[in-house]
Amino acid sequence: MRSHLRLENRVQRIFFGALVSCVLHSAALAGDATIYVDPQLAVATTQTYDPAARKASGGAERAFKSLAQAAATAGPGQTVILRAGTYAEALAPKQSGAAGHPLVFRAQPGEDAVITGEGLSPAVDLSGKSYIVLEGLKVVKVRRWLLALKTHHCTLKGNTFAQALDAGGSSKTGLFFEEATHNKLLGNTIDDSTQDNVSLIKSDYNLLEGNVITKAKHVLWTIKGGNYNVLRGNYFHNAIQKIGEVYDCDGVGSEHQFKETNCTKHNLIEGNVFAHTASSGDHSPYCGIQYAGQEGLVRRNVFYDCIGPALDLTLYGGEARFNVNNRIAHNVFYRNHYCGVSLSGRGGGGEYTFEGNELKNNVLCQNVFVRNDKRWEWFKELDGKPVQVLCGGTNGFLLERNLFFNAAPGEKYLLTQGGRDRKDNPAPLSLGEWQSAKGELVKGCVEADPQFEDGERRNFRLKAGSPALDAGAWLTRAKGAGQGTELPVADARWFADGYGIEGLSGDLIQLEGQAQPVRVTKVDYAKHVLTLETPVAWADGAGVAYAYAGKGPDLGAFELGLKETLAAPAAPAGLEK
């Protein structure tokens, strides 16, 4: 009987809790659609605000003088408009929005609403909240920008985050997301933190698109233990250290609580510009991406002027022990000052796993090793050499149909094997010698000038007549003849279906011999099956590529003859030479 009463009371509590939540939700939706915050108001709050005159009387709008008070009041379906001025208080909404009825905080168009104050830590707190939109705000000269613990379905659009000043160098200094899903950072300017500008910790299904992210004392962005995140169409430049990191968890998180390996899978990095990293001097080089994830996809990016490896597939203790089954396709690595790509020398077995990593249809051109780190004798030999790919060993990777070029065909050092602290590194070989001796690792690669439109101006589109046109390999092949919308392939890791992120579509792919591309709606990575939007027929072994315009896919980041649908923002004025 007592058990029955306890169950009945529990059901009543759940029912009344849901009823109260519903009433509050309905009240918010029924309230003022727009709320203003105006620091010029002479009163704390008014129901007769005149937006045109910015006065507390003469109008019919609701307004607050305090941002904190407005944030404590607003709820689902409402828009809080911040007028021009300085806000020396944190933005910490008390309520979430709702699906279809977000809670919006937006700057008045054409006005600068600036949240500032060196004691704000964080300046914006979205922890535990969902369906909130921040648009057009400026968060400047604060200790920490934004904290988002267990934050879901929130959007940051067109904001400016500048000068995060935490003297302790905490990883939470920048935009810090932890156990956060389905959030979007769109078209923001994110510049100058004392640690990491954007952190995705144990966070899945998030989108960073169209942002300009620059200057961080440690790293511009990091993914640690996160899955199915997408970074696309962003511009990256770090004058202090490195740009990006992808690896597992070794005591990371807001309380250093996450320690887990082999847990950073299926992240997509595409269409970005990696413009510059700094010199490390006598320290490990600062990379474009320091990468130790699993089954990730890095494609159609351009990397230039990185003083460390543009892309470093690395292994080391703790957080970077599994670098497995990654796919690197259709990128351009140009004039980086260490190498284009660095591949770990550690093999399988023991505590480290480096296996199944494939690089296909990339262009590596005029990367030159520069001996900034003076500690290693071997670097004297490499100084000034045209090192496009540097591999520590001969295992765990496949280089297929990539274009290598420095000044003339037949040069040695384009693909270099060795270790900085070894005294028995192999003699340098030409690319042709590599392909003859190690055909299982290096095959079908091209050695020719790619003929960019204007490499000096960082225009990496191909000229008509380029040897890179139609020269790409098929990413994978169909398994068995068939027809319909379920296409079995040898390797589905080359493709993405949008990951269920709102607004993202799956890849446009094209089968060998067919002129019409078709959209992928689902990728089954376990069974290696692509679900297609429209039915097609295919032969056994038919090649599969991203959509192309000629007889086959082009090498590099851009397909001549196809309209570009993804472009990173231009470099900020004066940032590049």
Residue pLDDT, tens place only, 104-152: 999 999 999 999 999 999 999 999 999 999 999 999 999 999 999 999 9
Q: Which amino acid is at 74?
A: A
Q: Which tens digit of pLDDT belongs to each residue from 301-355?
A: 999 999 999 999 999 999 999 999 999 999 999 999 999 999 997 755 578 999 9
The bridge status of strand 230-232 relative to strand 327-329 is: unpaired
Phi and psi of 103, rounded to 5°?
Answer: -95, 120
Q: Are 466 and 491 in contact (CB under 8 A)?
A: no
Q: Are 459 and 453 in contact (CB under 8 A)?
A: yes
Q: Which tens digit of pLDDT belongs to each residue from 20-72?
A: 344 344 444 445 799 999 999 999 999 999 999 999 999 999 999 999 999 99
Strand partners, 304: 334
Q: Which amino acid is at 24?
A: L
CATH class of 476-546: mainly beta
| pLDDT > 90? residue 13 | no
Q: Which tens digit of pLDDT belongs to each residue from 492-514?
A: 999 999 999 999 999 999 999 99
Please tell me whether residue 459 adopts helix, strand or coil conformation.
strand
Q: How far apart are CA 24 and CA 22, in angstroms?
A: 5
pTM of the model: 0.94
Strand partners, 518: 509
Q: What is the pLDDT of residue 519?
A: 98
**pLDDT band at residue 168, thresholds of 50, 70 and 90?**
confident
Q: What is the pLDDT of residue 347?
A: 59
Q: Are 187 and 166 in contact (CB under 8 A)?
A: no
Q: What is the pLDDT of residue 349?
A: 58
Q: What is the pLDDT of residue 205?
A: 98
| pLDDT > 80? residue 16 | no
DSSP state for residue 24 in the 8-state scheme: H
Q: Are 124 and 115 in contact (CB under 8 A)?
A: yes
Give the residue carrying structure tokens 């057009």. 136
| pLDDT > 80? residue 73 | yes
Q: Are 344 and 315 in contact (CB under 8 A)?
A: yes
Cα atoms in the Cβ-side hemisphere of radius 13 Å centred on 267:
32
Domain ranges of the chain: 283-470+556-566, 476-546
Lowest-pLDDT range of 9-18, 259-268, 440-449, 470-479: 9-18
**pLDDT band at residue 5, thresholds of 50, 70 and 90?**
very low
